[in-house]
């Protein structure tokens, strides 16, 4: 159970440690939303957060992907025959 505590002219929420651990909120910046008459609390997710680590893990596990040089080295063709 969480409790409101007075902090100056505002109030804060005291969240029990087991809930913080279960929701993986430790040390994260949080966002608050009023939802259906209640308060929804979630960590702020940065765009592409963790992508670099995931990519490096995949590359370390499966090796680097080979480039498809057939397509990369292909000469550009003319598209005059196409109907637009």
Confidence check: pLDDT of 37 > 90: yes
Banded pLDDT at 35 (limits 50, 70, 90): very high
The structure tokens listed for 44 are: 């702020």
The predicted structure's pLDDT at residue 65 = 66
**Fold classified for 3-43:** Pemi-like Protein 1; Chain: D (2.10.260)
Best CA proximity match to 31, nearest among 45, 42, 20, 46: 42
Rounded Cα distance between 48 and 12, Å, is 30
Annotated domain spans of the chain: 3-43
pLDDT surpasses 90 at 73 = no
Which of these ranges, 8-12, 22-26, 33-37, 79-83, has the smallest mean pLDDT?
Answer: 79-83
């Amino acid at each position: 159970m969480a409790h409101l505590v007075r902090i100056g002219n505002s109030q804060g929420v005291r969240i029990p440690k087991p809930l913080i651990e279960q929701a993986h909120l430790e040390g994260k910046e949080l966002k608050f939303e009023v939802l259906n008459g209640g308060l929804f609390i979630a960590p702020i997710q940065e765009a592409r957060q963790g992508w670099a680590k995931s990519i490096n893990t995949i590359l370390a596990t499966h090796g680097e992907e080979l480039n498809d040089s057939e397509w990369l080295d292909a000469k550009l063709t003319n598209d005059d025959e196409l109907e637009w």
